[in-house]
Amino acid sequence: LITNDDYSELLEIRKKKIGRNLSIGYKDKLKIVKGALQYLYDDKGRTFVDCVNNPSHVGHCHPVVVRKMQHQIATLNTNTRYLNDAITEYAEKLTATLPEKLSVCYFVNSGSEANDLAIRMSRHFTKQKDIIVLDHAYHGTSTVAMEMSPYKFDSKGGSGQMPWIHKAINPDLYRGPYKYGDAEAGEKYAADVQRIIEDLKKEDKAPAVFICETLLGVGGQIPLPENYLKTVYDYVRAAGGVCIADEVQVGFGRIGDHFWGFELQNVVPDIVVLGKPIGNGHPLAAVIVTEEIAEAFNNGLEYFNTFGGNPVSMATGLAVLEVIEKEEMQQHALETGNYLMDGLKALMAKYPIISDVRGHGLFIGAEMVKDKTTMEPAVPEIDIVVEKLKAKGYLLSTDGPLHNVLKIKPPMPFNKQNADEMVELLDIALSEL
Ligand code: PMP
């Protein structure tokens, strides 16, 4: 038993025995030993409100999910070569939440694996290789997912941009060239995707894929401008490409107004990629495609995945859907998110260091700058605020290419009382800067 308070012994063993390029959050490390809904508890008996763990979607250790997983793991867990009711029941319930043409499911074990498979299927379907991504995006940690993640390949230690990867400008209405208030901003940002398509054409190429998140996560908690995806999808489809929506961070009702992020943009993707919240922390992810794409992929080569679609994962997925519906979590996210956003906007009016508050439902970003004209990112101020809130029991984090966006995407049970307290603590932390 390791009991010393600064965890030096534990950190030492970790350094020796666990892969080293994994950072641990916060200056004073946390040892979390228990979770319940939106709360985390550490080994010193302290309670924290979790404001960032979106994979624990319906709440840490939600009792309904835990019970159904326990029952299934005590009954059967095996691969998918045997008939099993759970996998078909889950595929039917999951596709019922999606537009009709997204009808065929492939179950995998992580968002990275799902994106990797989605790319493979798109390449089969289009017979093309090139991929259009958004700048600063992150799509996962497999080799292909890394190749399509500027957030990684452009970073220190990254392997750079592959010739078949093309970066389109981030449609960021706060920091990008086309700003809030520009009614045509969506179309103007979309024109950058068309530029890439035309450049490819000059080399007798066409895009296999356009992929983006339907609200940008690592890119800085950014909702897409109106008409952006509609225009982009038209361009990409006219060039014969497939449109993938990465819903790994934002799906399953988090955004409040809708169940899926792409619905905010009035589009239907050809492929959706699901992860994180789908299994409430259990390693489950999915690729859902149209009939035509599924048929093209079924070309004689078998696709088998040892753990993908196993009965425990399927029971988990079913339980998550059931809880979202029974506890009316989408509506709760809408109300709580709007309430919290109002509170954050009031802080923005009071403190010029907060320069933009944006989001939908319980997917919110607050951008911090030293100066509203120069937009110089308020680092290290944002880190000081995050540490101060942690000391008061609120776990927040930062994101965005400039590390100056407060990232808020809590487990869905996060409530108005939590929102009030968070805003109050932020008020104090900002006044002390
Ligand atoms: N897509 C997006 C948008 C993500 O945020 C992530 C993970 N942060 C992934 C894909 C990869 O998912 P995983 O970590 O489950 O492989």
Closest ligand 1 atom to residue 276 Cα is 15
Residues 111 and 194 in one domain: yes
Q: What is the pTM of this model?
A: 0.97
28: confidence class by pLDDT, cuts 50, 70, 90: confident
Percentage of the chain exceeding pLDDT 70: 99
Residues 322 and 336 in one domain: no
Residues 334 and 415 in one domain: yes
Q: For the chain, how are helix, strand and coil distributed in percent, rounded to 5?
A: 40, 20, 45
pLDDT in tens, 90-141: 999 999 999 999 999 999 999 999 999 999 999 999 999 999 999 999 999 9
Comparing CA positions, the residue from 83, 142, 127 lying closest to residue 299 is 127
Residues 244 and 357 in one domain: no
Q: Which of 270, 304, 326 is the last residue of a domain?
A: 326
Residues 170 and 36 in one domain: no
ipTM confidence score = 0.99
pLDDT in tens, 396-414: 999 999 999 999 999 999 9
426: confidence class by pLDDT, cuts 50, 70, 90: very high
Comparing CA positions, the residue from 201, 93, 380, 360 lying closest to residue 368 is 380
Tokens of 191: 């024109």
Ligand 1 pocket test target in 248, 249, 260, 278 with most atoms within 8 Å of CB: 248
Closest ligand 1 atom to residue 111 Cα is 12
Q: Which of 304, 326, 348 is the last residue of a domain?
A: 326
Helix, coil or strand: residue 432: coil
How many A from CA of 140 to the centre of ligand 1?
5
pLDDT in tens, 31-47: 999 999 999 999 999 99
Residues 14 and 39 in one domain: yes
Q: What is the sign of the dihedral through the CA atoms of 312, 318, 323 and 326?
A: negative
Residues 193 and 225 in one domain: yes
In this structure, which residue's CA is closest to atom 1 in ligand 1? Answer: 139
The two beta strands, 394-395 and 363-368, are unpaired
Closest ligand 1 atom to residue 113 Cα is 16
CATH number of the domain to which 344 belongs: 3.90.1150.10
| 209 occurs within a structural domain | yes
How many A from CA of 184 to the centre of ligand 1?
30
In this structure, which residue's CA is closest to atom 5 in ligand 1? Answer: 249
Residues 104 and 80 in one domain: yes
Determine the pLDDT at residue 382: 98
How many A from CA of 1 to the centre of ligand 1?
33
Amino acid (one-letter) located at 168? A
3-state SS of 373-428 is CCCCECCCHHHHHHHHHHHCCEECEEECCCCCEEEECCCCCCCHHHHHHHHHHHHH
Total number of domains in the chain: 2
Instruction: Examine the pLDDT at 5 and tell me if it is beyond 90.
Output: no
Non-local CB neighbours of 237 within 8 Å, separated by 6+ positions:
243
Q: Which of 277, 294, 326 is the last residue of a domain?
A: 326
In this structure, which residue's CA is closest to atom 7 in ligand 1? Answer: 140
Ligand 1 pocket test target in 110, 138, 221, 260 with most atoms within 8 Å of CB: 138
| 1 occurs within a structural domain | no
23: confidence class by pLDDT, cuts 50, 70, 90: confident
How many A from CA of 402 to the centre of ligand 1?
20
Residues 41 and 68 in one domain: no
**For residue 129, what are the domain limits?**
63-326
Ligand 1 environment, Cβ below 6 A: 110-112, 115, 138-141, 213, 217, 246, 248-249, 275
Percentage of the chain exceeding pLDDT 90: 97
Within 10 Å of residue 253's Cβ, how many Cβ atoms? 27
| 359 occurs within a structural domain | yes
Name the strands in the sheet holding 242-246, side by side, starting at the edge strand that comes first in the sequence.
Answer: 104-108, 285-289, 271-274, 242-246, 207-213, 130-134, 165-168
